[in-house]
Amino acid sequence: MRTSIATVCISGSLVPKLHACAEAGFDGVEIFEPDLVTAYESPEEIRTLAARLGLTLDLYQPFRDFEGVDDDLFADNMRRAETKFQLMQRLGMDLVLVCSNVATATIDSDDVSARQLRALGELASSYGVRIAFEALAWGKYVDDYRRAWRIVERADHPNVGVCLDSFHILSRGHDPSDIEKIPGDKIFFLQLADAPALTMDVLSWSRHHRLFPGEGSFDLTAFLGHVLAAGYTGPLSLEVFNDVFRQTDVRRTAAHAHRSLVWLADQVRRPGVSDATHHLTEITPPQAFDFVELRGSALDEIDLVLEQLGFTFRGRHRTKPVRLWSSGRARVILNEQRGNDRPTHLAAFGLEVADADAALARARELAAPPVFRQTHAGEQDLPATAAPDGMQILFNDNGPDPRWLDEFTYGDPGRADVARSIDHVNITQRWQDFDEAVLFYQSVLGLESEPPREVASPRGLVRSQVMRTPDGCVRLPLNVEPQAEEGRTQHVAFTSDDVVGLARTARERGLSFLPVPDNYYDDLRARFALDEAFVAELRSLDLLYDQDADGGFVHFYTRTLGDVFFEFVERREAYDGYGAAADAPVRLAAQR
Ligand SMILES: O=C(O)c1ccc(O)c(O)c1
Ligand SMILES: [Mg+2]
């Protein structure tokens, strides 16, 4: 299917926007009128540029406040419309979006609106223009796509159809399955937008908080399924009003937007409808973390902490300045190759997957860059890609005991393992990258998103959203931290069956824990009916505790080293959370 995007989605002025849309792979654009009005190029120049870039000009929009008006106003609206049709001829465009009247309508009548739209269609036809009528969620009388369709049906003019916009339909909770009752050739245009679940007026929600498909809470896969079932064959077009996307780099945002459509088109694969170009290589969710890799200026501090935690030194790599620590299947690589001018940071993580080449192929189809790492004869070459923030992700399909382990000096860990595996990797995002990261991890790695939540911190509420596999074997909590300018703290959490015993031993070895205030433990006694001796033990070891209906959670954090710290977690019974409600605020306050 063809892809399109409204120029209002991205930042800057019209000409750079057109370049960015073409470069990102879009087939066409909707020209958002203010972008044209504020441009110094003539309509003819815009038309020529679009043609040269291989972009079709799919929709001119919006034409406002047309229908449901008295005769005087109607005459003036027809005059206004005619000047727009003349402009569209200069642009070489043939489809205009008319959104339902939000301001000047005084007549609440399907019949009047239909007659007025029919007259508009007749005028438009003399310019070779067609009208796509869209119900805005806050339209004065027409605020439901089903009513817009009733009016269009009654207007009964070949040049008058509807424009469906997922936001206006799903934000109001209107049932999208009635779309299938509209003949596909009367759906003149389709606008797609996702949005977070918010409780606010629909106009503000629409104008500031729309997201690209896959980033919010709307079920766009089902929505698009209904539109395709109706027989719609026009472009899939993005119309996302979002204050962040309109401030970020135009080329990057256009690429980000395009990825969302490629992903969505693949979600609704159906024979004969979506074409092969939007079929992504299929993958199954990753099975486990293979390793994490740290780089930076003070890796010897990390050696010490891993030793105190009870990890085993597995030696140096055969050919690279890289060393490995492990415990069970929790593996930490310290890489001295690059990034030594920066504080210690998380630079990469590995995932155990069913098919590493398929994972990389899918990443490339979604325009995620391949990452090449030098390997020498006989060494395992792990296919890799990079997330939008530069985090490298390496794919290993060689099972839980990968071949690459043999490239390090010492084989056998030689003592009982304190950690079993990597439970989660917490990746702090810059606020302007957050939605892009959600889409990246969902589309490229096939992770699911847990509902977003907000965690209290000394600098305000921290947005947090966990991307994970259904079985919980791979979890990536994404956080926006208010102190992100001061360094992007990341952390790696390891699972253990005995966090209390581990903490005791680590303390004897001199490990420096993140100190937990006494008040936390007083509060803990209020929150849960816990054994006093247990609370005393938690208090003496700086351990945190949470529980819910599914089970309990014992965990602790180390102090931050560079931009990294470690966590050890013990999930009791079926506890599936992260201690986000009470423990994360304590951590954020202590770190501050
Ligand atoms: O917010 C608006 O005014 C507006 C304009 C055009 C659209 O297609 C739309 O969905 C909203
Ligand atoms: Mg719209």
At residue 411, what are phi and psi to the nearest 5 degrees?
A: -85, -70
CATH of the domain at 12: 3.20.20.150
CB 546 within 8 Å of CB 540: no
Rg of the chain in Å (alpha carbons): 28
Same domain, 269 and 296: no
Q: Which of 245, 278, 311 is the last residue of a domain?
A: 278
What whole-number distance in Å separates Cα of residue 137 and Cα of residue 503?
55
Q: Which two tokens stand for residue 513?
A: 């824990």
Q: Which of 254, 278, 302 is the last residue of a domain?
A: 278
| Alpha-carbon distances, residue 328 vs 13, 289, 325, 413, 414 (angstroms) | 54, 12, 10, 9, 11
Any ligand 1 atom below 6 A from CB of 58:
no
Ligand 1 atom closest to the CA of 102, numbered from 1: 3
Same domain, 407 and 356: yes
What whole-number distance in Å separates Cα of residue 575 and Cα of residue 27?
47
Tens-digit pLDDT string for the chain (592 aa): 899 999 999 999 999 999 999 999 999 999 999 999 999 999 999 999 999 999 999 999 999 999 999 999 999 999 999 999 999 999 999 999 999 999 999 999 999 999 999 999 999 999 999 999 999 999 999 999 999 999 999 999 999 999 999 999 999 999 999 999 999 999 999 999 999 999 999 999 999 999 999 999 999 999 999 999 999 999 999 999 999 999 999 999 999 999 999 999 999 986 555 555 568 999 999 999 999 999 998 999 999 999 999 999 999 999 999 999 999 999 999 999 877 788 999 999 999 999 999 999 999 999 999 999 888 888 999 999 999 999 999 999 998 889 999 999 886 665 667 889 999 999 999 889 999 999 999 999 999 999 999 988 888 888 999 999 999 999 999 998 765 555 578 999 999 999 999 999 999 999 999 999 999 999 999 999 999 999 999 999 999 999 999 999 999 999 999 999 999 999 999 999 999 888 888 988 888 7
Domain range holding 239? Answer: 3-278
Same domain, 501 and 394: yes
Same domain, 232 and 297: no
Ligand 1 geometric centre to CA of 98 (Å)? 9
Same domain, 348 and 444: yes
Q: CA torsion sign, 547 to 309 to 381 to 299?
A: positive
Ligand nearest to the CA of 60: 1
Ligand 1 atom closest to the CA of 97, numbered from 1: 8
Same domain, 269 and 372: no
Ligand 2 geometric centre to CA of 142 (Å)? 14
Number of domains the chain is built from: 2
Ligand 1 geometric centre to CA of 222 (Å)? 22
